[in-house]
Structure 1
Amino acid sequence: MSRIVVFGAGGRVGRAAVAEARRRGHEVTEAGHEGATDVRDQRAVAAVAAGHDAAINAAAVYGEGTDPGTFFPTAARALLAGLAEAGVRRLVSVGLAVVKPGPDGVRLMDSPGFPAEFLPFCLAHASGFDVLRSEGDAVDWLYLSPVGDFDAEGERTGHYTVGEHGDMAARISHADFAIALVDEAQGPKHHREHLVVT
């Protein structure tokens, strides 16, 4: 079994990833919530990640009083540097499908009619992903997104599909998305790319 550290373990995706990893018998460290490890602090990341085989990052900020524009790129840099320092080579990070170019080469967030109120959060996610792409040579990272959105009430079916593109109207349960996260953490099949899960 593996040792997996989950950043953002207090959120819905993080909790689902922790549950899925423990269901399989992995040793899991929960980090980055309720005053625990700050995912934006390289030293804190390195300290908590030491001795682990892989990391899952589900940490995010949203809403009043938060600054996603600095959170996501800062967290990406701290994770890359901290994990490399700790000798953890695998990072599976949760992202947004709207920051990925579609079959026409245009990101959904750049398309006409995209809701302006969501754009700052999406741009912040995109800047975090850009850090992974441009600075992530020392870590075997993967950026996974639900193809459309989460089905908050959805049950665990045990099935999912990973691909380049998908139907943006699709929904996936947190539990099924967590299966994909843990699969890629424990047995990497995809490397240094952005894929969508449905």
Structure 2
Amino acid sequence: MKIAVYGASGMIGSRIAAEAVSRGHEVIGITRSGGEQPAGVRAVVGSANDVASVKEIASTVDVLVSAIGPSRTGGDPQEFVNAIDTLVAAADGTRVVVVGGAGSLVADGKRLVDSPGFPEIYKSEALVVAGVLDTLRATPEGVEWTMLSPAQVIQPGERTGTFRLGLDEPVGTEISAEDYAIALVDELETPAHRRQRFTIGY
């Protein structure tokens, strides 16, 4: 399978790219900065906001993976929203799989981001990503997308291969980036959540 990973030098994107390469897939890693990427990944400098570039890449791969997110350093959150819109529009039938967030998960009938204990520091980012999920759900039936939301805490850790999957309700409070990558590449290889969001946790 040919896979393009946007944000392939990041904490989650690099692990997705490495996991895909380890399974024998051909991976193109796209970053704006040209940052270091896992061994075996073909590095490309580019942006998910560049329509012409996305169209060109989408025409050569089986799936586009977005492992980018809203800026945490004061950048315009609309840039992330526009990037996902661009990926979906320019994909032209190519499947788009998006790294989501935990804030839009629903517990006791309420999104986590709307609950009193949700960390204020992550609230703005979580609302932006939740909005992107709403936008994806409203796309025409022909648009092939999937979003994988991690548990509330995702960080570098152990690749265990043991985790739980769910849909809109949290299935745990944490997950390693390595195990998250396993679940996402599993989904690329055997699509089970077309036009759905699903989640992972311990």
CA distance in 2, matches of 1:59, 1:186: 21
Q: Is the 8 A contact 1:74 1:128 kept in 2?
A: no
AA aligned opposite 2:67: A
Where 2:145 maps in the other structure, the secondary structure is strand
The match for 1:94 is: 99
Is 1:142 paired with 2:150?
Answer: no
Q: Higher helix fraction: Structure 1 or Structure 2? A: 1
AA aligned opposite 2:183: A
Aligned mate of 1:114, from 111, 114, 118:
118
The match for 2:192 is: 189
CA distance in 2, matches of 1:14, 1:117: 22
CA distance in 1, matches of 2:200, 2:171: 10
Normalised TM-score (structure 2): 0.86
Q: Higher strand fraction: Structure 1 or Structure 2? A: 2
How many pairs were matched up?
A: 190
The match for 2:54 is: 45
Aligned mate of 1:65, from 64, 67, 74:
74
Q: Is the 8 A contact 1:75 1:128 kept in 2?
A: no
Aligned mate of 1:162, from 161, 165, 171:
165
AA aligned opposite 1:97: A
Normalised TM-score (structure 1): 0.88
Is 1:172 paired with 2:175?
Answer: yes
Runs of at least 5 residues in structure 2 that lack an aligned partner in the other structure: 35-44
CA RMSD of aligned residues (A): 1.7
AA aligned opposite 1:17: I
Q: What's the CA shift for 1:51?
A: 1.7
CA distance in 1, matches of 2:143, 2:31: 19
Superposed CA deviations along residues 141-193 of structure 1, whole A, max 9, x for unmatched, are 111011221132x111123321122355x221111110111111122011111
Q: Which runs of 4+ in 1 moved over 4 A?
A: none
CA distance in 1, matches of 2:177, 2:159: 8
User: Which one has more relative contact order, counting CA pairs under 8 Å at least 6 apart?
Assistant: 1
Q: Is the 8 A contact 1:96 1:125 kept in 2?
A: yes
Q: Is the 8 A contact 1:100 1:194 kept in 2?
A: no
CA distance in 1, matches of 2:174, 2:155: 5
Superposed CA deviations along residues 119-140 of structure 1, whole A, max 9, x for unmatched, are 2111111122122111253322
Identity of aligned residues (%): 38
User: Are residues 74 and 197 of structure 1, via their aligned partners in 2, closer, same or farther at CA, if it must alter by over 3 Å?
Assistant: same
CA distance in 1, matches of 2:76, 2:59: 28
User: Are residues 190 and 167 of structure 1, via their aligned partners in 2, closer, same or farther at CA, if it must alter by over 3 Å?
Assistant: closer
